[in-house]
């Protein structure tokens, strides 16, 4: 019965899955830019950095439903509030991991770079970023997996993706395909999470500087 439903609706399901993945990736990209940017900008301001970490960390305690809803007066319904809320959630894992990654770079190496005459920008690009990258990437990965599940709630603000299936199933409870729809939505989300996770493993392999993997 469920298989029948799947085969009948395959194109639509795949489209929604694709939308879901796109939604997450776009939101994570924004989170990453903000998270990494803030981490590097506050390099010399540890107190501000700590405050930012506390604030973004506390943002995670906000129930996603509430945050999505609050975006409506500002951004209406649809893609915009969904992306905004997801991007806000995604900042903390990226920020935290970037800070950890930067702080984890061996100070001796930085000292050597300074001794060689590298300016701050050069140091960041040539030394800190490549060495901190695995940890940063892991933070982005964590954010992504977190957002895949959260994005399902985006359906309450008419956001794209697989959440729609779950809510439609709920709305039609007792109806013919209700359970199938909801189940398809849930399984779809898990699969998207899996695929994106594998994607990140691949990206990690490709982008990590060779010397760190040896």
End-to-end CA distance of the chain: 50
Residues 28-57, interacting with another protein (CB under 8 A)? 54, 57
Long-range contacts of the stretch 136-139 (C-beta < 8 A, 24+): 136/36, 136/94, 136/97, 136/98, 136/101, 137/200, 137/203, 137/204, 137/207, 137/208, 138/97, 138/204, 139/35, 139/93, 139/94, 139/95, 139/96, 139/97, 139/98, 139/100, 139/101
- Candidates 69, 75, 124, 199: give the one binding another protein (CB under 8 A): 69
Based on CB atoms, which residue is closest to another protein, 29 or 178? 178
Structure tokens that stand for 111 in this block: 């000292």
Nearest approach in angstroms of CB 190 to another protein is: 5
Q: Which of 85, 102, 140, 157 binds another protein (CB under 8 A)?
A: 157
* The two structure tokens encoding residue 185: 């939505």
Least distance between another protein and beta carbon 12 (Å)? 18
| The one among 22, 65, 125, 207 contacting another protein by CB under 8 A | 65
Part of the chain binding another protein (CB under 8 A), chosen from 40-48, 63-71, 109-117, 122-130: 63-71
Name the one range near another protein by CB under 8 A: 107-115, 118-126, 184-192, 202-210.
184-192
State the burial class of residue 111 (Cβ atoms within 10 Å of its Cβ: 0-12, 13-18, 19+): exposed
Q: Does 90 bind another protein (CB under 8 A)?
A: no
The structure tokens listed for 113 are 């770079």
The correct pick among 17, 39, 131, 166 for binding another protein (CB under 8 A) is: 166
Candidates 124, 142, 199, 200: give the one binding another protein (CB under 8 A): 142
Q: Which residues bind another protein (CB under 8 A)?
A: 54, 57-58, 60-67, 69-70, 72-73, 93, 142, 145-146, 148-150, 152-153, 156-157, 163, 166-167, 169-170, 173, 178-179, 182-183, 185-186, 189-190, 193-194
């Amino acid at each position: 019965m469920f298989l029948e439903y799947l085969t009948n609706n395959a194109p639509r399901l795949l489209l929604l899955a694709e939308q879901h993945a796109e939604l997450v990736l776009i939101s994570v990209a924004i989170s990453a830019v903000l998270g990494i940017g803030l981490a590097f900008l506050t390099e010399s301001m540890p107190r501000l950095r700590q405050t930012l970490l506390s604030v973004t960390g506390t943002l995670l305690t906000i129930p996603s439903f509430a945050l999505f809803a609050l975006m409506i007066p500002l951004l209406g319904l649809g893609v915009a509030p969904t992306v905004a809320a997801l991007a806000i959630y995604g900042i903390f894992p990226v920020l935290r991991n970037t800070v950890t990654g930067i702080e984890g770079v061996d100070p001796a190496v930085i000292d050597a770079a300074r001794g060689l005459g590298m300016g701050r920008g050069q140091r960041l690009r040539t030394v800190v970023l490549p060495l901190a990258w695995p940890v940063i990437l892991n933070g982005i990965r964590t954010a992504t997996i977190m957002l895949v599940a959260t994005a399902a709630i985006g359906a309450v603000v008419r956001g794209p993706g697989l959440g729609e299936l779950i809510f439609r199933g709920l709305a039609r409870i007792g109806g013919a395909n209700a359970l199938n729809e909801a189940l398809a939505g849930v399984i779809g989300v898990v699969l998207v999470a899996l695929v994106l996770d594998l994607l990140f493993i691949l990206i990690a392999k490709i982008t990590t500087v060779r010397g760190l993997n040896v």
